[in-house]
Amino acid sequence: MSSPRLPEPDRPWMMRTYAGHSTAKASNALYRSNLAKGQTGLSVAFDLPTQTGYDPDDELSRGEVGKVGVPVSHLGDMRTLMEGIPLGTMNTSMTINAVAAWMLSLYIVAAEEQGAEQAQLQGTTQNDIIKEFLARGTYAFPPGPSMRLIADMIAYTVEHVPKWNPINICSYHLQEAGATPVQEIAYAMSNAIAVLDAARERVDAAMMPKVFSRISFFVNAGVRFIEEHAKLRAMSVLWEELGRTRYGVEDPKALRFRYGVQVNSLGLTEAQPENNVQRIVLEALAVTLGRNARARALQLPAWNEALGLPRAWDQQWALRIQQVLAYETDLLEYPDIFEGSKVMDGLVEELLTGARAEMAEVAEHGGAVQAVDYMKSALVESHRERIARIERGEQVVVGINKYTETEPSPLTAAGDGGIMTVDHAVEQQAKDAIAAWRADRDQVRVDAALARLAEVAAGDENIMPASIEAARAGVTTGEWARTLREAFGEFRAPTGVGEAAATTDQTEGVAAVRAEVERVSEALGRRIKILVGKPGLDGHSNGAEQIAVRARDVGMDVVYEGIRLTPAQIAHSAVQEGVHVIGLSILSGSHKELIPAVIEALREQGVDVPVIVGGIIPEADVRPLHDAGVAGVYTPKDFDISVIMGDIVRIVAQANGVLDEADVAAPTGGAIDDVATA
């Protein structure tokens, strides 16, 4: 009888930790520490100004510098970030999209300074702009020019940096935005078609198999880990079909579905955060158990990412989870354990049928680029249904809508709240540093490099050589992006809110809020109007979109202009629209700087209406926000949107003197103070 085991255990997947914060120097120390602990690849988290193409001293960068990642403003920062890390042998993943061509240019030049040639470099740039329009919001340029930049990078790397993955088609954030498994598969594959079709226009036809082989994916794995594994097997089937039938790829190696993973952060909870550990472990099983669909690289979130920025110890814990799976369990010792499973085969076929139908729908809309509006509204709708299932108790989330009784967590009992906080002084230091960088460089060379970049952007040449020269010359991230904005124009992605269908929810809670909206609106003499705003550069708009949709569904007039607004723009909209209440959403940790700035801008405009805030806000920050003039604070534990809507109506009623006895006695959700107005 033959052994059920492999002759030799498989090598483990590449182990990464998504990391970066504060400064390039601090992040370099973190990377070197993680590598010393057994991490086998780098995964760079950039801050929001870097991701969206702004320097630290730009108005839109206020409060965002170094918060969710590391600021990289020029070659000096990249040089510091990678100091002591051998780029000729390291495999580096950079979660960067709109300015991916620029970050790769800086990386190439930093590697050259170490003595590494471009042909040696290994790694990945995320570089998926369509999902930025749909789910994450760190876009910088319109769709057409953005796709041109992606195609230029693919054409350049396949010739000059052949070990580099110029893009990973990113379905991760689609699931974060509410995608069902079918939608995640279909939209990712439709996205890949758009990318490959764009690349086909920039390379010789004979190069397409090589191009196809360098496309990787970055996927999500949720806690329903059996279904999630089936999703990955289905994606593998579709990817091979796509290569053979649309692009004429025949080499089995080139047809492999290559993907990396970060498991689901959407399912992590602020309440009982210790439960996140087992969620992360189960989600990791989805992408490691089955050999024929095993991830090539894996990074796990930390247990406390629903609370704030993880500390080094938290990230070590996440890395150790991977190492226990790889080295203590026996999962790498066997052939594919799902092969021949009727359950798995049935799930895969079910997902394939649904995904093919949804891909056909996207194709009927003109393909992924033209179908952004359609896909965005579908994601908003799917996310709304997910939240409604949780509110109704149909989808159990332990510690949120079931088994909520709990002991105090020692993990969060310390004075720091169990998270790391970036020193606000980092922002001023970054401003001072970039001023010094500009003062010390050869401005004539910088001007020439920017002029050449503008010339290339206006024409049809590949953007990469001019970008690499700009990196060598000392151009900054903001200067590079501003030059391309001037050439390509500005763009605001669709919100999906207006297109979302009206709810059919007739539950008692929703009906009661609708009735109260009607009563208060009648007392006010016009319908309650809410402005939902996203100040700063945080593009994670899922929560804001759901608040806007539910406010509309309970009868309010809604003003929602999307992401990336300055405090002055929010105040101007409040004046122009004559709103009764303002809801601000921030998930990037910049609330302590940006919320008071918005309130000050409102005061300057003479706007005297309540302000409420939602986001990842530590408990220690709630009182300072109230002191600054905020009427209510909501965090991820406040999952019932109907309760939030009821609170908003009561706040408006109290601010306008139209409370009744039921309002005064009604319970509220979230951290609601006596109504304070801006």
Give the catalytic positions in this structure.
18, 172-173, 534, 538, 540
Q: How far is CA 435 from the centre of its chain?
A: 30
Token couple for 15? 């182990």
Burial of 674 (0-12, 13-18, 19+ CB in 10 A): exposed
User: In terms of Cα–Cα distance, which of 275, 291, 280, 285 is closest to 333?
Assistant: 291
Token couple for 369? 């680029």
Distances (CA, A) of 58 to 53, 78, 545, 600: 10, 20, 26, 19
Q: Measured between alpha carbons, how far is 453 from 273 in angstroms, rounded to an integer?
A: 48
Q: Measured between alpha carbons, how far is 527 from 516 in angstroms, rounded to an integer?
A: 11
Long-range contact pairs involving 301-305 (C-beta distance under 8 Å, separation at least 24): 301/18, 301/262, 301/263, 301/265, 301/268, 301/276, 303/268, 303/273, 303/274, 303/276, 303/277, 303/411, 304/273, 304/276, 304/411, 304/412, 304/418, 304/419, 305/265, 305/268, 305/276
Query: Tokens 């040449």 identify what position?
Result: 461
Distances (CA, A) of 212 to 11, 131, 156, 637: 25, 19, 14, 43
DSSP state of 135: I
Residue 440 pairs in a beta bridge with none
Distances (CA, A) of 190 to 107, 141, 174, 293: 30, 20, 13, 20
Phi, psi (degrees; rounded to nearest 5) at 611: -120, 130
Q: Measured between alpha carbons, how far is 632 from 619 in angstroms, rounded to an integer?
A: 13
Distances (CA, A) of 507 to 76, 226, 388, 520: 57, 32, 10, 20
Pair 67, 430: CB distance under 8 Å: no
Pair 104, 125: CB distance under 8 Å: yes
Q: Measured between alpha carbons, how far is 270 from 638 in angstroms, rounded to an integer?
A: 9
Q: Measured between alpha carbons, how far is 651 from 513 in angstroms, rounded to an integer?
A: 13
Q: Measured between alpha carbons, how far is 276 from 304 in angstroms, rounded to an integer?
A: 8
